[in-house]
Amino acid sequence: MTILSIDSGIERTGYAIFKDKKYVTSALIKTSKEKSTEIRLEEIYSKLKEVFKKYQPDVMVLEQLLFFKNQKTFIRVAQAQGIVMLLAAQNKIKVEFLTPLQIKQIVTGYGQADKKSVQKMIRLTTGIKLTQDDEADAVACGLAFNILN
C-alpha cells in the first residue's frame, strides 16, 4: 500500500510517499508570492498531479486544519487543502485526517512537541534528515498514519 501524506499551504506544500510503511521520498512544492493565489493553487495542483501519476498512492493522509490567528493565511491553507482533496477524489482514493496533536503524540510521544523534536524523531526512525518544516510535517503525518494502521 502506498500512502501520500501532505502538509498543504499556499507558499509551501510538503508531501511524502510511503510504500508498505517504508519511506520512499518527500519534497516541498514552493510557489512565488509574486503570483496570484489562483495561479499558485494551480501550480500546487499540477505538481501533485505528477506525484499521483508517478507513485499512484492508495490513500491520502492530511493534517486536520485548526483555526489559527492569521485569518488570511488560514483561508489560503484551507483553499490549498481543497485542491489537494479534489486530487484525491479525482484519483478515487480516500482521504484520512490526523490532528496535529495526534501526529506529535504518535511520532514523539508528546502532543506538545516542537518542530525540532519532530524532525529529530524522523531522523532517528527513518534516517532521513529533513530541515524544511512543511516537508518534515508531511513526513511526520505519514509516519503517524503508518504507526496507527
Give the per-residue SS3 of 36-61.
CHHHHHHHHHHHHHHHHHHHCCCEEE
Each residue 14-43 as x (binds a second copy by CB under 8 A) or -, in order, gives ----------------------xxxx-xx-
Task: Indicate whether 82 belongs to the interface with a second copy (CB under 8 A).
Answer: yes
> CA–CA distance from 128 to each of 13, 49, 60, 91, 132 (Å)?
19, 25, 21, 29, 12
Minimum CB distance to a second copy, residue 120 (Å)? 31
Q: Can residue 96 be called a binding residue for a second copy (CB under 8 A)?
A: no
Q: Is 7 assigned a catalytic role?
A: yes
Minimum distance, C-beta of residue 77 to a second copy, in the bound complex (Å): 8
Decide if residue 73 touches a second copy (CB under 8 A): no
Helix (H, G, I), strand (E, B) or coil at 128: coil
CB 145 within 8 A of CB 5: yes
C-alpha cell belonging to residue 127: 534516517
Nearest-Å Rg of the Cα atoms of the chain is 14
Q: Does 83 bind a second copy (CB under 8 A)?
A: yes
Active site residues: 7, 63, 134
Chain positions contacting a second copy, by CB under 8 A: 36-39, 41-42, 45, 65, 67, 71, 74-75, 78-83, 85-86, 88-90, 94-95
